[in-house]
C-alpha cells in the first residue's frame, strides 16, 4: 500500500509577512509586500521595485553568533522558516527520530556581494587600474572574509537546517531555478512514500535582491521596468504585465507519513497526493508557447494523485507576470482542463510578493495548504485590464470564499524544468 503523506506544519518568511499566518492574512487582504528597494540605494537602476523581507531579526532564530556569520541571507531565511515550521508542527518540543528525519530544500546561485568583492578588486588593481590576478593572490583575497565560500554554497541551506534540527536522514538541495522548491517538496514526498523517512522538512529559501542580480535580470529582459508605483508592478495575467518583480524569503513545510502524524496526534492540515515534473525542450529562458511541458507536469501530478482535472478546485499559478509565462500557462490550463478551464479559479500570489525564484514554489505550497484549511482563494492583485489571450478566472483583486478540496500548484523554471504538486483536504 502506498504511504499517505500529510502536511503537519509550515513556516514562512515573505515580503508581506514574517510568519506564515501574517503572510497568509496579508495575502488574503491583497496586501502587496513589493516596495522601493531599501537594502541598498536603487537610484539609477532601471528597476527599483522588489519584494524585500522587512524587519527580520536572524538572531531571534540563530542565537549562536559564530554560526550566523557563515550564513548568507538566504540561509538565515531558510533556518528561520524551518524553525517556525517545527514549532508549528509541535516537533520542536518532541523531535522525531533523527535517523528518520530529513531535509530537502530548493535553493540556487547565491549572488556575489559586490561591496565585499569591490574591496578585493580595489586591492588587486595594477598601475593601469586593471584587475591583476597576481595582486589578487598577494593582497586582494586577504580583504575577503576567510569563510566567505561557506555562504556561497547552495547546499548550505539544507546543511544548516539539518544541523539545527538534527535531521540526520536524507538530505538534498534542488537548484532548478523557479521550480526548485516545488521539486524539493515533490522529492520529500517520494522519500516518505518509499519509507526512507518518517518526517521531512521541505521547502526553499532564496534572496536575489542585490545590485548584481537586479542588473542581470533586467538586462535579460525578465523584470518589469514599469514606472508604476512598486506595489502595482507585478500584475500576472493583466494585459499590461511586462515582466516579473524579484522577491525574497523562505517557506518550509513539515511533511510526514500519515501513520507517524497520527501516532503523535499531530494536527493535519492537508495531504500531499501528487507530484509531476517535466522538461520544456524549447529555448532557454522562454516557456514553450504551446505549454506542452506545463501540461505534462500538471497531468503527471494528477495521475500520481489518481485524480482528474475535474477534481481540481483551485490552481496556484506560476503566474510570473511576464508576457510569455502567463500566456503559456493559460494555454496549458485550457488544454488540460478543456471546457471547464474558465470555471477553475487560478491566482498568482506573485502579484503581492514577487518572484522568489528558488523559494517561490514553497510559498505557493503554503498558500495551497491554507486555502484548503480556511476555504479562501487568495487574489491576483493589480488585475485591471483583461488580456484577450488570458481569459480564465484569475480571482481578480479580491479574495474569495470557496470550498477547496484539491489544489494544483505549478512552478515552471527558467531553464525549462516544470513541476506541479497536488494538495488535498485530509479526509482521514
Partner 1 sequence: MNARRVVVTGLGMVTPLGVGVPRNWQAMLDGESGVKRISRFDVSTMAVQIAGEVAPLPRVPEDAAVPDLGIHARFALVAAREAWADSGLARARVDPERVGVFLGSGKGISEIERLTEACKAALAAKGLFDYAAFVRALAKDFSPTRREQEDYYNSGSHVARAVGARGPNWVCITACAAGNHAIGEAYRAIRRGDADAILAGGTHSQVDLMSLSGYATLGALSPRNDEPHRASRPFDRKRDGFILGEGSGVLVLEAYEHARRRGARLRAEVVGYGNTADCYRVTDPQPEGERVELAMRLALKSAGLAPGDIDYINAHGTSTQQNDAMESGAIKRIFGGRGEAPPVSSTKSMIGHLIAAAGAVEAIACVRALEEGVMPPTTNYEHTDPACDLDYVPNEPREKKLLHAMNNSFGFGGQNIVTILKRL
Closest CB to partner 1 among 25 and 112?
112
Residue 12, φ and ψ in degrees, nearest 5 = -145, 150
- Is residue 63 exposed (0-12), middle (13-18) or buried (19+ Cβ within 10 Å)? exposed
User: Closer to partner 1 at the Cβ: 132 or 374?
Assistant: 132
For the bound state, the minimum distance from the C-beta of residue 46 to partner 1, rounded and expressed in Å, comes to 8
3-state secondary structure labels for all residues of 194-241: CCCCCEEEEEEEEECCCHHHHHHHHHCCCECCCCCCHHHCCCCCECCC
Q: Other CB atoms closer than 10 Å to residue 386's CB: what's the count?
A: 13
Instruction: Tell me whether residue 28 is one of the annotated catalytic residues.
Output: no
For residue 267, the minimal CB distance to partner 1 (Å) is 27
CB 224 within 8 A of CB 242: yes
The two beta strands, 101-106 and 171-174, are: parallel
The smaller minimum CB distance to partner 1, of residues 27 and 296, is found at 296
Is 318 catalytic? The answer is: yes
Q: What is the 3-state secondary structure (H, E, C) of 37-77?
A: CCCCCCCCCCCCEEECCCCCCHHHCCCCHHHHHCCCHHHHH
What DSSP state is assigned to residue 417?
A: E
Alpha carbon distance 331, 336 (integer Å):
9
For residue 316, report the phi and psi dihedrals to the nearest 5 degrees: -85, 105
- Nearer Cβ to partner 1, position 19 or 168? 168
Measured distance CA(99)–CA(368) in Å, rounded? 29
Q: What is the CB neighbour count within 10 angstroms for residue 115?
A: 10
What is the rounded CA–CA span in Å between residue 254 and residue 406?
19
* Residue of 88, 160, 260, 355 with catalytic role: 355
Closest to partner 1 by CB, 302 vs 344, is 302
Minimum CB distance to partner 1 smaller for 102 or for 345: 102
Q: What minimum distance in Å lies between the beta carbon of 158 and partner 1?
A: 8
Give dist(CA 31, CA 24) in Å, integer: 10
In the complex, minimum distance from the CB of residue 282 to partner 1, in angstroms, rounded to a whole number:
8
Is residue 182 a contact partner of residue 361, using CB atoms and an 8 Å limit? yes
Q: What is the DSSP letter of 317?
A: -
Cβ 122 to partner 1 shortest distance, Å: 6
Task: Decide: 238 and 388 in contact? Cβ < 8 Å.
Answer: no
Nearer to partner 1, 148 or 267 (CB): 148
* Residue closer to partner 1, measured from CB, 141 or 397: 141
Contact 333, 346 (CB under 8 A): yes
Catalytic residue among 178, 260, 272, 390: 178
Q: Which residues are annotated as catalytic? A: 178, 318, 355
Amino acid at each position: 500500500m502506498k504511504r499517505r503523506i500529510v502536511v503537519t506544519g509550515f513556516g514562512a518568511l515573505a515580503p508581506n509577512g514574517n510568519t506564515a499566518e501574517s503572510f497568509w492574512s496579508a495575502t488574503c487582504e491583497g496586501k502587496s509586500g513589493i516596495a522601493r528597494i531599501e537594502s541598498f540605494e536603487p537610484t539609477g537602476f532601471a528597476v527599483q521595485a522588489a519584494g524585500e523581507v522587512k524587519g527580520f531579526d536572524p538572531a531571534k532564530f540563530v542565537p549562536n553568533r559564530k554560526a550566523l556569520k557563515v550564513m548568507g541571507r538566504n540561509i538565515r531565511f531558510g533556518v528561520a522558516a524551518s524553525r517556525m515550521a517545527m514549532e508549528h508542527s509541535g516537533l520542536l518540543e518532541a523531535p522525531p527520530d533523527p535517523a528518520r528525519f530529513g531535509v530537502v530544500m530548493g535553493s540556487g546561485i547565491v549572488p556575489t556581494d559586490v561591496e565585499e568583492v569591490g574591496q578585493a578588486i580595489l586591492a588587486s588593481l595594477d598601475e593601469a587600474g586593471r584587475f591583476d590576478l597576481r595582486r589578487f593572490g598577494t593582497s586582494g583575497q586577504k580583504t575577503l572574509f576567510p569563510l566567505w565560500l561557506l555562504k556561497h554554497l547552495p547546499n548550505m541551506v539544507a546543511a544548516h537546517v539539518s544541523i539545527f534540527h538534527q535531521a540526520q536522514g536524507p538530505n538534498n538541495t534542488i537548484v532548478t531555478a523557479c521550480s526548485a522548491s516545488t521539486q524539493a517538496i515533490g522529492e520529500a514526498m517520494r522519500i516518505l512514500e518509499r519509507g526512507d523517512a518518517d518526517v521531512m522538512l521541505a521547502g526553499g529559501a532564496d534572496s536575489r535582491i542585490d545590485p548584481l542580480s537586479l542588473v542581470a535580470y533586467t538586462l535579460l529582459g525578465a523584470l518589469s521596468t514599469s514606472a508604476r508605483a512598486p506595489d502595482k508592478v507585478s500584475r500576472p495575467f493583466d494585459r499590461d504585465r511586462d515582466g516579473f518583480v524579484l522577491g525574497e524569503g523562505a517557506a518550509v513545510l513539515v511533511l510526514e507519513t500519515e501513520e507517524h502524524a497520527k501516532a503523535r496526534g499531530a494536527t493535519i492540515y492537508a495531504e500531499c497526493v501528487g507530484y509531476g515534473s517535466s522538461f520544456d525542450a524549447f529555448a532557454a529562458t522562454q516557456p514553450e508557447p504551446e505549454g506542452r511541458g506545463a501540461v505534462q507536469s500538471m497531468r503527471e501530478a494528477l495521475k500520481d494523485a489518481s485524480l482528474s482535472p475535474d477534481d481540481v478546485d483551485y490552481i496556484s499559478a506560476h503566474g510570473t507576470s511576464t508576457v510569455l509565462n502567463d500566456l503559456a500557462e493559460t494555454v496549458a490550463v485550457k488544454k488540460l482542463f478543456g471546457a471547464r478551464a474558465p470555471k477553475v479559479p487560478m491566482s498568482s500570489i506573485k502579484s503581492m510578493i514577487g518572484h522568489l525564484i528558488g523559494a517561490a514554489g514553497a510559498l505557493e505550497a503554503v498558500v495551497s495548504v491554507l486555502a484548503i484549511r480556511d476555504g479562501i482563494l487568495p487574489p491576483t492583485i493589480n488585475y485591471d485590464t483583461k488580456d484577450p489571450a488570458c481569459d480564465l478566472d484569475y480571482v481578480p483583486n479580491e479574495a474569495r470564499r470557496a470550498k477547496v478540496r484539491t489544489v494544483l500548484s505549478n512552478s515552471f523554471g527558467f531553464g525549462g524544468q516544470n513541476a506541479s504538486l497536488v494538495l488535498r483536504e485530509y479526509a482521514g
